[in-house]
Amino acid sequence: MAKIEFLGPIGKPPVEVDIKNLDELKEIFSKDDDIKEWLKICAVAVNDTITKTLDMKINPNDKISLLPPVCGG
C-alpha cells in the first residue's frame, strides 16, 4: 500500500491506498469532500520529489505527499 501524507495546514492523518498510478489516487479523492478543495492548490510529491504527471507509476512502498501553498520566512 502506498502512504499518502497531507502536509502543513491540511490537518488530515496519513492514509494508505492500493493504487498503481496517480490517476487512481485522483479517482479515490474525487469521493472525499474534505480534500477536494485542497487538491486545486496542492502540489504532489512522490518519494519527496514533486511530480507533474498523473501517469507516474506508484509502487506499494511509495510515499505520496500533498503540499499546500507555501509561505516561508
Which residues in this chain contact other proteins in the complex, by CB under 8 A?
Answer: 7-9, 22, 25-26, 29-30, 36, 39-45, 48-52, 54, 65-73
**Shortest distance, position 44 Cβ to other proteins, whole Å:** 5
Cβ proximity of 64 and 44 under 8 Å: yes
**Shortest distance, position 37 Cβ to other proteins, whole Å:** 10
Q: How far apart are CA 12 and CA 63, in angstroms?
A: 15
CB nearer to other proteins: pick between 15 and 45: 45
CB nearer to other proteins: pick between 48 and 61: 48
The b/e string for 24-39 (b: 16+ C-beta within 10 A; e otherwise) is ebeeebeeeeebeebe
